[in-house]
Amino acid sequence: MGCCITVPHQTVAIVEQCGAYKRMASPGLNFLNCICGEAERGVVSLRVQQLDVRCETKTLDNVFVIMVCSVQFQVMQDRIYDAFYRLTNPHQQIKAYVFDVVRAAVPKMKLDDVFEQKDEIATHVKEQLSKAMAEFGFEIIQTLVTDVDPNEKVKAAMNEINAAQRNKAAAQDRAEADKILKIKVAEGDCESKFLAGVGIARQRKAIIDGLRESICDFSHVMPGASSTDIMDLVLVTQYFDTIKDVGHHSQHTTLFLPHSPGAVKDVAEEIRTAFGGQDTMKNAKFDHGSMQGHSYNPVSTTPALANKDYVSPFKPPTASSPLVPQNSSSSSSSSSSSSHPDLLELS
């Protein structure tokens, strides 16, 4: 051991004489009186130091966690003697104080509160350490809770809870989207049906207007024709159009229908009865002037023909009638129609 020492910056050397405290050596070159027994006993750093403390504790909901607290401290320049001589191992004693404070505060909190209130825990640790370590010449600069590490199973359970909550929110959003989609589809279907109804109503109105115009034109050509005769002719035309549509659009290859004049007459009688009753139809008179701009209701059944060539299609046909085919053999096209002359076969 020499008689001179070099002390680094921000460091103080403790000089003893014959084992007793003598003085402090400042940073730089210092000479010792070796003859009188002076010697360097140790050094004290004046820099800010950090100590990381890992502490395992239990929360209020019985979850064990490992908390990491970082304590930043510094030796007071006017209390170097106390910091060097009064504490044997300052780091170990600081750890003991951190353990005591953390294990007293955390068991009063639940796990979620520990994560949310870790700053309050750090502040509490700093306050307790500052009171305890100031007596020994240490100043607590800052205390930080840098990590809260629960058990792996607990972390997995927390992740599952979070995932379940997010899945629930996603399911609610999907259900709301499906609800909006179904509402829009229902609104579109409602609007479509409304427009379809408007179209059907307009179609029927156009059919009625066309029938009215046809009857008016027919009454001009044959002034002596009654309303019943005109409507019978219109019904026959509609009847043949219906048969044509059934033969074209039906999925069946063969369809048997009653096709004798008597059967057609029965259909016409049933239609007239459905419109207003047989008695009303016989008593009402056909007025050509009332047909303009109004819906036509055929009621008259009194035949009054001015033209001798006109024959009602629902009267018994004769061979000289212009509406009856002269070659009756062409009406039967199969063995079924020949055996039943009143049936029409559509193939």
The CA distance from 123 to 138, in Å, is 17
- pLDDT at position 268: 66
Query: In this structure, what token pair is assigned to residue 264?
Result: 């057609």
Bridge partners (DSSP) listed for residue 144 = 70
The model carries a pTM of: 0.47
Q: Are the C-beta atoms of residues 146 and 69 closer than 8 Å to each other?
A: yes
Residue 40: left (phi > 0), alpha (psi -120 to 50), or beta?
Answer: beta
Return the DSSP state at 115. Answer: H
pLDDT for the residue numbered 30: 86
- Token pair of 109 as six digits: 């909190």
- Predicted pLDDT at 52: 92
Residue whose pair of structure tokens reads 């921000």 in the numeric block = 10
d(CA 72, CA 91): 11
Return the number of other C-beta atoms located less than 10 Å from residue 115's C-beta: 14
- Using DSSP, state whether 113 is helix, strand or coil: helix
> Mapping DSSP to helix (H, G, I), strand (E, B) and coil, where does residue 15 land?
strand
Q: Which two tokens stand for residue 121?
A: 């825990």
Residue 264: the pLDDT is 63
The pLDDT, as a whole number, for residue 239 is 72
Beta strands in 103-208 (DSSP E): 138-150
Which pLDDT tens digits describe the chain residue by residue (347 residues)? 568 888 899 899 999 888 888 888 888 888 888 888 888 888 999 999 999 999 999 899 888 899 999 999 999 988 899 989 988 888 998 899 899 889 888 989 888 888 888 888 899 889 988 988 888 999 999 999 998 888 888 888 888 888 888 889 899 999 999 999 999 999 999 999 999 999 988 888 887 787 777 777 777 777 766 667 677 777 777 777 777 777 676 565 566 666 666 666 676 677 667 655 444 544 444 444 444 444 444 444 434 334 444 444 444 444 444 444 444 333 333 444 444 444 444 44
Write out the E strands in the chain.
4-7, 11-17, 20-25, 28-31, 38-45, 49-58, 64-75, 138-150, 255-258, 343-346
The closest alpha carbon to 224, from 269, 288, 279, 294, belongs to 288
DSSP character at residue 251:
S
